Amino acid sequence: MTLKTNIGNNSFDSCMMNASGVWCSTVDELEALIDSKAATFITKTATLSPREGNLLPRVHHFGSNSINSSGLPNEGIDYYLAALANFEATHPDRAFFLSVTELAEDQIDAIMQRVHQSDYQGLVELNLSCPNVIGKPQVGYDFEMTARILDRTFSYFDQPLGVKLPPYFDLSHFDQMAEILNRYPLTYVNSINSIGNGLVIEQDAVTIAPKQGYGGLGGAIIKQTALANVRAFYTRLKSDIAIIGTGGVTSGRDVFEHLLCGASMVQVGTALLQEGPAIFARLEEELKAIMEEYGYTSIDDFKGKLKDSI
Instruction: Tell me how far apart the alpha carbons of residues 274 and 130 are, in angstroms, rounded to a whole number.
Output: 21
Which residues are catalytically annotated? Answer: 130
* Sheet of 161-165, strand order: 16-18, 265-268, 242-246, 188-191, 161-165, 123-127, 97-100
Strands 188-191 and 195-199: unpaired
Quick count: other Cβ atoms within 10 Å of Cβ 232? Answer: 21
Please, what is the angle between helix 143-153 and helix 171-181, to 10°?
20
Instruction: Tell me how far apart the alpha carbons of residues 146 and 38 are, in angstroms, rounded to a whole number.
Output: 31
Judge whether 10 and 247 are in contact, CB under 8 Å.
Answer: no
Judge whether 128 and 139 are in contact, CB under 8 Å.
Answer: yes
C-alpha closest to that of 190 among 48, 20, 3:
20
Beta strands per DSSP E along the chain: 5-7, 10-12, 16-18, 59-62, 65-68, 97-100, 123-127, 161-165, 188-191, 195-199, 201-202, 205-206, 214-219, 242-246, 265-268
Judge whether 136 and 101 are in contact, CB under 8 Å.
Answer: no
